[in-house]
Amino acid sequence: MLLQRVSFYVLLVLVTIAFVAVVLPFYLAIFWAVVLAIIFFPLHARIEARLGGRGNLAAALSLY
């Protein structure tokens, strides 16, 4: 049982390191995407409310 637990944690650490290595070059782009999503969500919500809950149409109109 102890070997399985240690193996799991070692594998978890290795997968986490690999994930960070893949995401690290895109960190700045991901950061700005999150910032812009937070800033523009109220605009999207207002457009969606005016369109009667049509989220896809509101998302399309938010782009223009």
Kindly report, residue by residue over 18-54, the tens digit of the pLDDT. Answer: 999 999 999 999 999 999 999 999 999 999 999 999 9
Confidence (pLDDT) at 51: 94
H helices, E strands: number in the chain: 3, 0
User: What is the C-alpha separation between 50 and 53, in angstroms, rounded?
Assistant: 8
- Domain, as residue range, for 22: 2-62
Number of domains in the chain: 1
Confidence (pLDDT) at 40: 93
User: What is the C-alpha separation between 37 and 46, in angstroms, rounded?
Assistant: 14
